Structure 1
Amino acid sequence: MMSESPRLLTGLALAMGLAIVMPYEGLSYRTYLDPIGIPTICYGHTGSDVQSGQEHSAEECEALLKQDLGEALDVVDQSVKVAQPITRRAALASFVYNVGERNFRRSTLLERLNEGNVQAACDEMTRWVYAGHGEHQRALQGLVRRRAMERRLCLYGIDPPTPEESPP
């Protein structure tokens, strides 16, 4: 049997990541402010290139998502020092896409993963459900659901799901 090429594995991780991110981010062809006031467009795309009043086509939004998620996967591959299965790479790319490179690189999650403690690393995902700052910080139910799903995918193959974690 021929072993999979790194490029194929990266493509599979990216495809899985797209399937994760798209429903959780939602799609808006027009710029809007996210729950903490950050200008956002398409599938959660943010950055200095996002301006009020912008509009994008479906094709432009998909291209932005692929580019952004590819960058998130690159961050995962550069930061994680131990080999990870495709499912975990996809879950981590979704996580990085949402929390950002800086937060990921400084996280206990990454530290635990590089120590080889996969269970503790994946469990850390569920702590990242808050938006806002200070007294305005609050848990968002969409993030709670997303982190639970990312955690399940992160643990795939090493931890059988409990009944409350199983998909409906």
Structure 2
Amino acid sequence: MNPELRNRLIKATAGGAIALATVLIQWHEGVLYTPYRDSGGVLSVCYGHTGAVAISSPVSATSLLDSDQKAAMAIVDANVTAPLTENQKAALASFVYNVARGAFARSTLLKKLNAGDRAGACDEMRCWKYVDGKVSKGLVNWRSVEREFCLKPL
């Protein structure tokens, strides 16, 4: 894991899973204040927000990220029946933020997690590295950090 990211995550531990996931997302998404097409062609803004994106409206990156992150955490809470550590919740919320609700709900990762196979579930994160059928180095890096975070504490 990148040492700077590791330091940011250590500082965020006091804030719990939401704070940890926010650091993961900010690190891997980056921020653009004007709407853009992401690598999959989806209209996005700020930290990868894909909801209603108005081309000419000013937006608050922090408020969009906060809202989107709370929604991702709610999806984790609603779908995961196994007990989770704060690190696992953070890794899963970051994952859901990137892959979206439906993909997570149908995933082998979720099935393994709810069946008690934590290591297998965390390993499944590595499968989610494709954009338009091609391996994305950015997603490989993101999934690697999420997996590491999911498997063990800082």
Q: TM-score range by the shorter chain?
A: 0.7 to 0.9
- Measure, in 1, the Cα distance between the counterparts of 2:27 and 2:105: 25
Unaligned ranges ≥5, structure 2: 1-12
Separation in structure 1 between the aligned mates of residue 17 and residue 130 of structure 2, nearest angstrom: 26
Structure 2 residue 130 is matched with structure 1 residue 140: no
Establish whether residue 51 from structure 1 lines up as the match of residue 47 from structure 2.
no
Q: What is residue 74 of structure 1 aligned with on the other side?
A: 74
- Partner residue, 1:14: 18
Runs of 4+ in 1 over 3 A off after TM superposition: 51-55
CA distance in structure 2 between the aligned counterparts of 1:117 and 1:80, rounded to whole angstroms: 12
1:12 positional shift: 1.0
CA RMSD between the two structures: 1.6
2:55 maps to 1:40: no
- Specify the SS of the correspondent of 2:45: strand
Q: CA-to-partner distance for each residue in 1:87-120, whole Å, 9 max, x for gaps?
A: 0000000000000000000000000000000010
Quick one: percent identity of the two aligned structures?
A: 41
Query: How many residues were matched structurally?
Result: 141
Shift of 1:55: 3.9
3-state DSSP of counterpart to 1:65:
helix
Of Structure 1 and Structure 2, which has the larger fraction of its residues in helix? 2
1:85 equivalenced with 2:89 (yes/no): no
Bigger Rg, which one: 1
Q: Residue in 2 aligned with 1:6?
A: none
**In 2, Cα distance between the equivalents of 1:67 and 1:36?**
22
CA-to-aligned-CA distance 1:19-39 (integer Å, 9 cap, x gap): 100010000000000012111
1:147 to 1:125, Cα distance in 2 relative to 1, 3 A? same
Report what 2:28 is aligned to. Answer: 24
Q: TM-score, normalised by structure 2?
A: 0.87
TM (norm. structure 1) is 0.80
